[in-house]
Amino acid sequence: MTVYLDHAATTPVLPHVVEAIAETMRAVGNPSSLHTSGRAARAVVEDARERIAACLGSRPSEIVLTSGGTESDNIAVKGTVWAASAQDPARRRIVASGVEHHAVLDPVTALVEAGDAEVTWVEPGPCGLVAAQDVLAAVDEDPGSVALVTVMWANNEVGTVQDVATIAAGCRERGVRFHTDAVQAVAHLPVDLGAAGVDLAAVSAHKLGGPVGVGALHVARDLRPMPLSHGGGQERDIRSGTLDAAGAVGLALALEHAVEHRAAESARLAALRDRVLSGALALDLGIEVTGCWEPGDTTTRLANNAHLLVPGCSGDSLLYLLDAQGIEVSTGSACQAGVPRPSHVVLAMGYDPEVARGSLRISLGSTSTEDDVERFLAALPEVVERARRAGGAA
């Protein structure tokens, strides 16, 4: 049996979610059509939207359905910056953390390269935490120039949870817009977007037991990012395209399941995570734990994230050797897999590129068991030795 320890890349779709999606797909009807079938499909979408909003502490009118985290982040970054600078040409600066996922990092860079924005990067401390005061100090350099501040809720590689509430409150006081990529957070942390006071937040279904290709962007009611694609004007004209009723149902059910089981599941996964981390350290292989870690803690590090630095070999070698034994892990972000570059997140935390090369991410989820963890730990010494003997070349 394969040991799947890559739930941060994607996690199995829950069986009852598969059933509900299939059931919804059996009905015909474009939610924008005015006839009976269209209105029935629209009712399904609006019911799902209400449930999604309730899980996130949003209002239904603030939920824009999208194709996933990447699209949500792109609309948030490009759409908000374009809208802000169209209104006031002086507002073209982005304040962004250096540990963002590529779904945020790359749109920011693309805007800068196109001459549409400037960026102030805010780097994290050694455990991956971006200090709220550093973010706000970057804003304070010239608040009138800021089009958007973007800091992710929880990091996909090292699991560090950021202080989004303080950053959001500071941005609000200064009259600047704040986006957070909450893709990795919603399955494992209480996320109340209304209480946190964020303007924009990205969510993705396939990270929490829903289908790939569905997500949402929370957009505060007084904000109107420019659309990236033009068409039928659906979703407040922010995201045109025929509404995906089955996908919306899948996201709503997966979110409801996550919220209902979050406390118990977080405690269960944190115990498995702690066993991965303490077990790897006890092997005496010179392994380091990356990120903030207190055993039992589920507030500063995601309950499902273990990230290791293994000296003297490359994470890619470890990944393939583990895979040959039926154990599936990651070197970091799935979106970077195959690219033999040290992770920008680990580098931003101050590690040397040679050390960062040995990154290994073990991420847990609904199907993870103690047996999975023990099989991983049992395989690790020989795998590390072979990877080191291979010369550690990536």
Residue placing its CB nearer to ligand PLP in the complex, 217 or 220: 217
* Contacts to ligand PLP from residues 83-142, by CB under 6 A: 101, 103
The binder of ligand PLP chosen from 11, 74, 80, 156 (CB under 6 A): 156
- Note whether 265 binds ligand PLP by CB under 6 A: no
Q: What is the dihedral of CA 283, 285, 291, 296, to 10 degrees?
A: 10
x/- site string to ligand PLP, residues 54 to 83, per CB under 6 A? --------------xxx--x----------
CA-based R_g, the chain, Å: 21
Min CB(37)–ligand PLP separation in Å: 29
Q: Which residue is nearest to ligand PLP (CB)?
A: 69
> Which among 138, 145, 195, 142 has a CA at the least distance from the CA of 166?
195
127 has catalytic annotation: no
Could you tell me the two tokens for 236?
């407040």
Residue placing its CB nearer to ligand PLP in the complex, 154 or 238: 154
The binder of ligand PLP chosen from 124, 170, 211, 215 (CB under 6 A): 215
The binder of ligand PLP chosen from 40, 226, 335, 379 (CB under 6 A): 335
- Note whether 184 binds ligand PLP by CB under 6 A: yes
- Note whether 334 binds ligand PLP by CB under 6 A: yes
Min CB(153)–ligand PLP separation in Å: 8
Cβ atoms of residues 382 and 29 within 8 Å: no
Which spans in 6-162 are helix H?
Answer: 15-25, 36-56, 69-74, 80-87, 102-113, 132-140
> Which among 111, 54, 61 has a CA at the least distance from the CA of 85?
111
Which amino acid makes up residue 213? Answer: G
- Cα(6)–Cα(2) distance, rounded to whole angstroms? 11
Interacting stretch for ligand PLP, rule CB under 6 A, among 17-25, 179-187, 318-326, 338-346? 179-187
Cβ atoms of residues 135 and 149 within 8 Å: yes
Residue placing its CB nearer to ligand PLP in the complex, 58 or 204: 204
- Cα(5)–Cα(54) distance, rounded to whole angstroms? 30
- Cα(132)–Cα(166) distance, rounded to whole angstroms? 6
- CB-based contacts of 359, cutoff 8 Å, min separation 6: 157, 290, 307, 308, 309, 315, 331, 332, 342, 343, 346
Residue placing its CB nearer to ligand PLP in the complex, 208 or 287: 208
Residue 192, H or E segment = none
The residue count for binding ligand PLP (CB under 6 A) is 17
Min CB(292)–ligand PLP separation in Å: 17
- Note whether 181 binds ligand PLP by CB under 6 A: yes
Min CB(391)–ligand PLP separation in Å: 30
Residues annotated as catalytic are: 335
Contacts with ligand PLP, residue ranges (CB under 6 A):
68-70, 73, 101, 103, 152, 156, 181, 183-184, 204, 206, 215, 333-335
